[in-house]
Amino acid sequence: MSVIKSFTGFWKQAVFAVCLFSAGSSFAQDKVADNMLLYQRSYGGWPKHIEEVKMDYSKELTPEQKKAVIADSLHKDGTIDNKATITEIRYLVKAYKQHKNPAYLAAAEKGISYLLKAQHANGGWPQFYPDSSSYRAQITYNDNAMVNVLTLLLDVAEGKNDMDIVNRSLKSQALASIERGVNCIVKTQVVVNGVPTVWCAQHDRKTLQPVAARKFEPASLSGSESAAIVAFLMKQPYQTAEVKKAVNAAMAWFEKSKVAGFEYKEIEDASLPKGKDKVLVPNPTSTVWARFYDIETNEPIFAGRDAVKRKKLSEIEVERRTGYAYYGVWPQKLIDKDYPNWLKKNQ
């Protein structure tokens, strides 16, 4: 039955796209939005790239290319990584408001339904859906993937940022989905020696424990993704005791784990292949946080493509040092502004 439904969805998508792009369509007014319709998978999500090439919806497609895209609509590469699917939904809603093309709104609502369906029963979101291979099915905070979904659904539930026009049934579903998502966040906050800390970039979809993703992304405490999670929790209209506890514990961890007196910067280095490097240098006016902290020791750790955890950034290969953010100032705005304002309302 599932196969029949899948192929039925494919043919509906194909017929819809062919009709839309046939000559004389009075609604096809936004080329970017039109291409988004073409690339939307039959189950509602969008890929982040095609054959390792990043999506470019501004590119003109030949009739043959359009047919090839439509024929590939069953591909299981739908994802929330790199803001894929979220970006398309937001764009299509705006395009609908501007051009009144019902196809744009229908595609956006189908995308929202896809996000709702992709959510695990425990409230977390996988990086990819329906592809569940490798680490793709794990609960993914990495690069703020799950937070981006929850932020979109919060807009849907509250009718903000152009989401006031989506089907009302999606708003009630979004509310329930957000509640499950927040519960998942609270449950996945890593507890070390009885003390809640922050989050890993990925958590096991069944056990909720921290897990590794790519070889240079070890199971660890995240100084980056955790900041976005806290910012989202602070925006919740209902600040439960569990949410308050999670926020306060995370902020205490940020204070404990800061690397004060240093700046993370790119420098010129003629001895290296690309003539540059990224290093940590002394700066008494600067504070940074590491991307990864060892769960047991709370010390910054670094991993390259060999997946070996090291204690110094200089010990990993230059390609990763210059191609990944191992330090940053992610929690700084929380500390300077957001948390003090939040505390005034949530003592």
What region does 102 belong to: left with phi over 0, alpha with psi -120 to 50, or beta? alpha
> Does residue 41 sit within a domain?
yes
Q: Which of 82, 161, 183, 283 is catalytic?
A: 82
Provide the pLDDT for residue 6. Answer: 43
Q: Give catalytic status of residue 214 as yes or no.
A: yes
Q: In the prediction, which pLDDT does 28 show?
A: 54
- As for how many domains the chain has, the answer is 1
Residue 242 lies in a domain: no
Q: Does any domain span residue 295? A: no
Residue 189 to residue 225: CA distance in whole angstroms: 12
Query: Around 184, how many Cα atoms within 13 Å sit in the side-chain half-sphere?
Result: 31
Residue 304 within any structural domain of the chain: no
pLDDT at position 14: 47
pLDDT of residue 24: 40
Q: Which of 122, 180, 183, 214 is catalytic?
A: 214
The answer as to whether 83 is a domain residue is yes
Give the tokens for residue 193. 């020696």
CB 147 within 8 A of CB 226: no
Provide the pLDDT for residue 27.
59
Contact 116, 166 (CB under 8 A): no
At residue 26, the pLDDT reads 60
| Residue 180 within any structural domain of the chain | yes
Instruction: Judge whether 82 counts as a catalytic residue.
Output: yes
pLDDT at 223: 97
Per-residue model confidence as pLDDT tens digits over 26-62: 655 899 999 999 999 999 999 999 988 999 999 999 9
173 is a domain residue: yes
Three-class SS of residue 37? Answer: helix
User: What global pTM score does this model have?
Assistant: 0.91
Comparing CA positions, the residue from 73, 81, 176, 65 lying closest to residue 129 is 81
pLDDT computed for residue 52 by the predictor: 87
Tokens 């896809």 label which residue?
114
Q: Which domain holds residue 14?
A: 2-188
- Placement of tokens 């499950």 in the chain: 180
CATH number at residue 157: 1.50.10.20
- Assess if residue 159 is contained within a domain: yes
Mean pLDDT, 10 residues at a time, the chain of 347 residues: 42 46 57 97 97 93 94 96 98 97 97 98 98 95 98 97 97 97 98 98 98 96 98 95 98 98 96 95 97 98 97 96 97 98 93
